[in-house]
Amino acid sequence: MEAPSFSSFEFDTNRPLQTQLQHQLTQWICSGRLPPGTRLPSSRRLAAELSISRNTVTIVLEQLKSEGFLQSIQGKGVYVAADLPQNINRPSTVHWHNRGGLPELSAFGQTLNKTPLLEHSEILPFTPGIPDLSSFPHKTWLQIQRRHQDRINLMGYDGNQGYEPLRESLAEYLKLSRGVLCKPAQIIITQGAQQAISLCAQLLLNEGDSVLVENPGYMGARKAFLARRAKLISCPMNDNGVDIDAMQRDHIIAQTSPKLMYVTPTHQYPLGGILTASQRLKLLDWAATHNTWLIEDDYDSEFHYFHKPIAALQGMAEQTPVIYMGSFSKTLYPALRLGYLVVPEALVKVFVQGKSFMGGESPLLTQAVVADFINEGHFVRHLRKMRLLYQAKWQHLNHLLNHQLKKPVRPIQQSAGMHLAIEIPGVDDQKLKQNLQQKGFGSSALSSYYNDQPTKTGLVLGFANTTRYQREAGIEALKSLL
Ligand SMILES: Cc1ncc(COP(=O)(O)O)c(C=O)c1O
């Protein structure tokens, strides 16, 4: 079969002729305009027909031959390859709008597909979880980074456990500042606390296992447990956080046999309760007696304002079933994607193996910078500075909330952290959050932190990334909306 005329080929001056000719010829072959077995004109004739150089045509024909679209037959010329599929001109199409036309998703994929995608909202003043980014010591950071950035051994793959010097400096920091009992070999560097929680869910839970979670609590943890198809059981709560006495009194443990419990004992997320020493000891005792893993998420405990940060649960006794996790998202900044796990020695191997399957090592250069940042004392200095800054912001916000807003709107006060939860009884807090967003302020709806029917409505306001003026304007905006 002879080829049709190529005179409808069009060339523009913005791209190389070679690329354009190759693209148009391939399209004609794939669309069936040049069916398998079609004989192409000689390179000389094709060049003359298209008014381009013969050299360009020859290069393109050679390329298409090497890709298998064309073939030369000795003494006869160049043909569209005879072994291309006959139906290449009518490839089956997938109806993307009709999910039935696609191969099936996994059960997990199907569940996710039915869940609305959490929109990534822009960072606004009061968006929870964002530190004061303008106070980050960029100069010091860059000086350290410059020292490391051309080190060849930071350019390859990281071991799955994380950069050893960082694990060493973290072990020292966690021992001195958080009372965590650990050796560097028990630390696993993760891509933020979220990867740490997902690893725990993957490695400690089977489908259908019961998991005790704080209610209200951290959505990221709930998601990781649900992804593992675990059954979420809400812990009874009091002003300090989980209520161990109520748990025992209500026979929750006997009825559910939980495999794991996720807690934020140093600063309950999002309400801010702090477990007392006796409650902590009871919790540890309870976990050991019932053979239940305790996941201690120590996400922002560096920021306590009127007393020293409360020591971690993990270090209160030896040989406890506690898996401790922390994050640099609040102490440095979230985009670093650096977190860490401290696991009992017996679990190190399985966690390192597990992480190797999940991928997601943190960049070595970043880990090296953080290690020096800690070793040279910048980290502790930065935390000290941020603690004072956040304390002043916390006091100012509390003052505004107490003086500007009428009862029964009230802050659920605890002198810690980077956010404040305020209770606003009976309000549609999702709507309120949206309205506040339209006025340029971030927040989260308190009701969205509940597993089930919310018992409190209100807002969670992150104050660390606000200026004085923004706090005043934000509370004024909230007042006008209430
Ligand atoms: C309770 C809690 N845990 C952990 C994190 C941190 O997660 P990541 O380290 O993945 O940023 C957050 C962040 O907002 C949090 O609120």
Which atom of ligand 1 is found nearest the CA of 190? 9
For ligand 1, what atom is nearest to the CA of residue 264?
A: 1
Give the span between the Cα atoms of 149 and 128, in whole angstroms: 32
- For residue 465, how far is its CA from the centre of ligand 1 (angstroms)? 16
Q: Which residues contact 400 (CB under 8 A, 6 or more apart)?
A: 471, 472, 475
Separation of CA 248 from chain center: 34
Indicate the top mutation candidate among 298, 299, 336 to test ligand 1's pocket, ranked by most ligand atoms within 8 A of CB. 299
Ligand 1 test: best mutation among 118, 188, 269, 324, most atoms within 8 Å of CB?
269
Mutate to test the pocket of ligand 1, among 268, 296, 329 (most ligand atoms within 8 A of CB): 329
Task: Using the atom order of ligand 1, give the atom closest to the CA of residue 297.
Answer: 3
Encoded tokens for 260: 């794991």
CA 155 to ligand 1 centroid distance, Å = 28
The CATH code belonging to domain 381-481 is 3.90.1150.10
Q: Which among 296, 297, 337 is the best mutation to test ligand 1's pocket, defined by most ligand atoms within 8 Å of the CB? A: 297
- Atom nearest to 218 CA in ligand 1: 1
Could you tell me the residue ranges of all domains in the chain? Answer: 17-89, 136-378, 381-481
What pLDDT score was predicted for residue 1?
A: 79
Tens of pLDDT along the chain (482 residues) come to 788 889 888 999 888 999 999 999 998 988 888 989 999 999 999 999 999 999 999 999 999 999 999 999 999 999 999 988 766 655 566 566 655 567 888 888 887 788 777 777 789 999 999 999 999 999 999 999 999 999 999 999 888 999 999 999 999 999 999 999 999 999 999 999 999 999 999 999 999 999 999 999 999 999 999 988 999 999 989 988 999 888 888 777 777 889 999 999 998 999 988 898 889 999 999 888 888 999 999 998 888 877 777 889 999 888 889 999 999 999 999 999 999 999 999 999 999 999 998 877 889 999 999 999 999 999 999 999 999 999 999 999 999 998 888 877 878 867 778 999 999 999 999 999 999 999 999 999 999 999 889 999 999 999 999 999 999 999 999 999 98
Fold of 136-378: Aspartate Aminotransferase; domain 2 (3.40.640)
Residues forming a β-bridge with 180: none
Ligand 1 atom index nearest CA of 334: 11
Nearest-CA residue for atom 15 of ligand 1: 299
pLDDT at residue 357 in the model: 86
Tell how far the Cα of 299 is from the centroid of ligand 1, in angstroms: 6
Nearest CA to ligand 1 atom 3: 299
Rounded to the nearest 5°, which phi and psi values hold at 100?
A: -60, -25
Q: How far apart are CA 4 and CA 1, in angstroms?
A: 9
Smallest CA separation from ligand 1 atom 7, residue: 193
Residue 355 neighbours by CB under 8 Å, 6+ apart: 160, 161, 188, 190, 195, 199, 361
> Three-state secondary structure along the chain?
CECCCCCCCCCCCCCCHHHHHHHHHHHHHHCCCCCCCCECCCHHHHHHHHCCCHHHHHHHHHHHHHHCCEEEECCCEEEECCCCCHHHHCCCCCCCCCHHHCCCCCHHHHHHHHCCCCCCCCCCCCCCCCCCHHHCCHHHHHHHHHHHCCCHHHCCCCCCCCCHHHHHHHHHHHHHHHCCCCCHHHEEEECHHHHHHHHHHHHHCCCCCEEEECCCCCHHHHHHHHHCCCEEEECCEECCEECHHHHHHCCHHHHHCCCEEEECCCCCCCCCCCCCHHHHHHHHHHHHHCCCEEEEECCCCCCECCCCCCCCHHHHCCCCCEEEEEEHHHHCCHHHCCEEEECCHHHHHHHHHHHHHHCCCCCHHHHHHHHHHHHCCHHHHHHHHHHHHHHHHHHHHHHHHHHHCCCCCEEECCCECCEEEEECCCCCHHHHHHHHHHCCCCCEEHHHHCCCCCCCCEEEEECCCCCHHHHHHHHHHHHHHC
Find, among 302, 374, 314, the residue nearest to 343 by Cα: 314
Find tokens 């990867």 and name the residue: 195
CA dist., res. 235 & res. 27, Å (int): 61
pLDDT (0 to 100) of residue 164? 96
Ligand 1 pocket list (CB less than 6 A)? 129, 192-194, 218, 264, 269, 297, 299, 327, 329, 334, 339
How far, CA to CA in Å, does 205 sit from each of 198, 215, 253, 292, 350? 10, 20, 17, 11, 13
Q: How far is the CA of 327 from the centre of ligand 1 (A)?
A: 7
Tokens of 143: 């000086």
Ligand 1 pocket test: pick from 327, 336, 418, 461 the residue with the most ligand atoms within 8 Å of its Cβ: 327
Tokens of 309: 């940060």
Return the pLDDT at 87. Answer: 60
* Ligand 1 atom index nearest CA of 327: 9
d(CA 250, CA 238): 14
Instruction: Dig out the tokens for 171 from the structure.
Output: 């072990």
Say which CATH architecture domain 17-89 belongs to: Orthogonal Bundle (1.10)
Q: Which atom of ligand 1 is nearest to the CA of 339?
A: 9
Position 32 scores a pLDDT of: 83
Alpha carbons 453 and 430: distance in angstroms, whole number = 14
Q: pLDDT value at position 446?
A: 95
- 61 Cα: distance to centroid of ligand 1 (angstroms): 56
Task: Go through 467-482 and write b for each residue having 16 or more CB atoms within 10 A of its CB, e for each that does not.
Answer: eeebbebbbebbeeee
